[in-house]
Structure 1
Amino acid sequence: MTFINASFLSAAAIALAAIAAPLSAAHADAPAKPVIVLVHGAFADATGWSHVIPLLEKDGYTVFAVQNSLTSLDADVATTKRVIEAQKGPVVVVGHSYGGAVITGAAADQANVKALVYLAAFAPDSGEAVGVFADQIPLAKTLVPDAAGFLYIDRAKFHDAFCADVPAEEAHIMGIVQKPLASAIFGQSIPAAAWKTIPSWYLVSQDDHAISPDLERFYAKRMGAQTSEIKASHVAFISHPKEIVHWIEEAANASAK
């Protein structure tokens, strides 16, 4: 039987503690990663982020994807605001398309929101209707209303208008499961624009057939956002998820400094 001297154990414990102490201190000093809140746009739901979520989680981020009703801007702002307010630490809020209008309203006066990320998104000013620039929204020409005033994208035009760089089979399913938008939303607005007080990042989709890339550039310039462009359709987060995650994390890293 082998016996280990007690004094040796004591010395080893002291040595390990000396090594662990600075490591623990360094870990304690490291800023916590912000929570990422993802907000979908019209004709979609939160499952559209399924290409992005695993990549963000792999990099150590906690992620929430909001499920909005698309029945009114006020309702979707309220739903998104509840998710933001439920977080204990810093938050980065990401909005795609109509989701950009939602985050612009929901993040206003939210002290824990450190950055806004717009992906081919609406970024209205306070009191400005979502659809005020209708002539620069080509998607509008593909919309079909139902009897209750909700809008769908014509399924025969869905692939080209919404997600031209997504494989045809996936685009076909997206067209079938699309979530309709209340037509009244295009005339609705938010009382305060969060991008006026919160640092913003904007990614323009150069091959967007839903919102004019020039309108996206206008929004980005007006808000003074950190801006980049990607050669992608309206749904770059589906066709180019790695690049989108890199862009979100760039905003997250900058907000932590």
Structure 2
Amino acid sequence: MRVRKVFAVLGTLLALAAVVPSGAGASEETEKSGAKKPTVVLVHGAFADASSWNGVVERLQRKGFPVVAVANPLRSLTGDASYLRKVLASIDGPIVLAGHSYGGMVQSEAALGNPNVKSLVYVAAFAPEKGESALELSNKFPGSTLGDTLSTIDIGDGSKDLVIQQDKYWQQFAADVSRKDATLAAATQRPVNDTALTEKAGDPAWHQIPSYFVVAGKDKNIPVVAQKWMAERAHAKAVVEVRGASHSVAVSQPDTVADLIVRAAR
């Protein structure tokens, strides 16, 4: 009799299991944990550091996105892309990759061939074609005043590190950021080696991966016309222009930048 009761209970459980859709509980748990959301990887550019993404990171984390703000070496395009490629390889699951300024050069190269990278977001950034350099693209159209604000540091190997003179940083790089925050950013900026800005790009990932662009309307580093031209050439899925924004648009307009990243994540 006990054996019959056991089989009767098992039969009831199996019948209930057939009624509940397979994996429904796991799906709900995944939804609650945010495990389905892609990891957002943020790549800063020259004359900045990973903290320049802080406002964007905060907003993405509030929405449940895992975020990695990479410390871009700023030594050479090949070397920087190689480092980012290793960071991307260490991340499980889908990735949305966003780059600011020179970071766009790096992400365009590093994402190539990585099936986990689902979208590329260019934030006042370079989106090069093969054979183009950051220096070439910044001078393709008139409007950049960066060259007049730079100081050099002789590295001793034939190359030079470039920094923006601190008293010129606010107006050149971050005119729509508070003077206090711009002064801090000027003091903590990371120099870029001139090799990184003159090295020619390889095959860009934006030919295969959907791209999204934030255009900074009052950018003095990368002319706005250049940003729009690169977005059009890449057949961007969306272009958001922030008319009064400086080159530091991720600092001054973190909501706009985060919103486009979320859109790219969908």
TM-score calculated relative to the size of structure 2: 0.84
Does residue 192 of structure 2 align to residue 181 of structure 1?
A: yes
Aligned ranges 1:49-198 → 2 under 5 Å: 49-135=53-139, 136=141, 137-148=144-155, 149-198=160-209
Does residue 206 of structure 2 align to residue 206 of structure 1?
A: no
Counterparts of 2:23 and 2:38 in 1: how far apart (Å)?
A: 24
Does residue 233 of structure 2 align to residue 222 of structure 1?
A: yes
Counterparts of 1:110 and 1:141 in 2: how far apart (Å)?
A: 38
How much has 1:159 moved relative to structure 2?
Answer: 0.3
TM-score calculated relative to the size of structure 1: 0.87
Counterparts of 2:203 and 2:180 in 1: how far apart (Å)?
A: 40
Quick check: 1:138–1:212 contact (8 Å CA) kept in 2? no
Counterparts of 1:22 and 1:196 in 2: how far apart (Å)?
A: 36
| Amino acid in structure 1 at the alignment position of 2:190 | K
How much has 1:186 moved relative to structure 2?
Answer: 2.0
Q: RMSD across aligned C-alpha pairs, in angstroms?
A: 2.3
User: Match of 2:4?
Assistant: none
User: Match of 2:5?
Assistant: none
How much has 1:130 moved relative to structure 2?
Answer: 2.0
User: Match of 1:249?
Assistant: 262
Aligned ranges 1:25-40 → 2 under 5 Å: 26-27=27-28, 32-40=36-44
Q: Which moved more, 1:46-55 or 1:19-28?
A: 19-28
SS of residue paired to 1:208: coil
| Amino acid in structure 1 at the alignment position of 2:99 | G
Quick check: 2:108–2:127 contact (8 Å CA) kept in 1? yes
Query: Which consecutive aligned stretches of 4+ in structure 1 deviate over 2 angstroms post-superposition?
Result: 17-23, 25-31, 133-138
| Amino acid in structure 2 at the alignment position of 1:229 | E
Counterparts of 1:250 and 1:40 in 2: how far apart (Å)?
A: 20
| Amino acid in structure 2 at the alignment position of 1:73 | L
| Amino acid in structure 2 at the alignment position of 1:140 | G
User: Match of 2:10?
Assistant: none
How much has 1:189 moved relative to structure 2?
Answer: 2.0
Counterparts of 2:131 and 2:178 in 1: how far apart (Å)?
A: 38
Quick check: 2:99–2:121 contact (8 Å CA) kept in 1? yes
Per-residue CA deviations over 1:46-98 (Å, capped at 9, x if unaligned) read 11111111211110101011101111111110111111111111100000000
| Amino acid in structure 1 at the alignment position of 2:64 | G
Quick check: 2:84–2:106 contact (8 Å CA) kept in 1? yes
How much has 1:218 moved relative to structure 2?
Answer: 0.7
SS of residue paired to 1:249: helix
SS of residue paired to 2:113: coil
